[in-house]
């Protein structure tokens, strides 16, 4: 019955600032805007597949949320950090090694890097990796993932 997630919504403090972020920084295609309702919608990927809605709300109505953008694993590994830095966005991982490099969630497996939007919503680029799921492997560096895959 359920075939996927079509849309998600975020509340933001400043709609115009967030429109600029999602359009110009993350390069999403804005597909609809309603000034009277203080809302804008964006296609994520090809039109009519996945959608993000952002709603301007008072600060007290903004709960920090998280969602992930599906990306190609090679792009995450080789380009995502520079992409974020070029847009003055600080990226993070869960490796606790002081680096900004992507990490691997072994239970999926998937490669990932995190960053925030202007309101502090936690965003992620994630790409599913080929290979065996390793539920007990934790969060590791990509190089360590490659070593596991060789075993």
Q: Are 85 and 119 within one domain? A: yes
Mean of the pLDDT values across residues 52-62?
A: 96
Number of helices (H), then strands (E), belonging to the chain: the values are: 4, 9
Mean of the pLDDT values across residues 53-60?
A: 96
Which pTM does this prediction carry? 0.93
Domain count, the chain: 2
CB atoms under 10 Å from CB of 111, counted, come to 25
Q: Are 19 and 50 within one domain? A: yes
Which residues form the domain of 24?
1-63
Q: Are 69 and 141 within one domain? A: yes
Q: Are 85 and 137 within one domain? A: yes
For 74-91, letters b (16+ CB in 10 Å) and e give eebbeebbebbeeeebeb
Assigned token pair, 32:
């609809």
Q: Which pLDDT score, from 0 to 100, does residue 2 have?
A: 73
Q: Which pLDDT score, from 0 to 100, does residue 1 have?
A: 81
Q: Are 73 and 137 within one domain? A: yes
Q: Are 57 and 75 within one domain? A: no
Contact present, 11 and 17 (Cβ < 8 Å): no
């Amino acid at each position: 019955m359920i075939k996927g997630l079509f849309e998600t919504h975020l509340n933001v403090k400043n709609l115009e600032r967030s429109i600029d972020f999602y359009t110009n920084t993350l390069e999403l295609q804005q597909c609809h805007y309603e000034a009277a309702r203080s809302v804008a919608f964006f296609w994520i990927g090809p039109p009519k597949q996945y959608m993000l809605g952002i709603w301007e709300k008072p600060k007290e109505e903004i709960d920090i949320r998280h969602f992930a953008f599906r990306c190609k694993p090679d792009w995450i590994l080789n380009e995502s950090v520079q992409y974020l830095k070029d847009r003055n966005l600080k990226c993070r991982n869960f490796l606790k090694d002081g680096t900004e490099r992507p990490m691997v969630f072994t239970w999926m497996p998937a490669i990932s890097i995190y960053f925030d939007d202007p309101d502090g919503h936690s965003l992620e680029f994630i790409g599913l990796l080929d290979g065996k799921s390793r539920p007990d492997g934790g969060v590791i560096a990509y190089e360590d993932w490659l070593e596991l895959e060789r075993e």
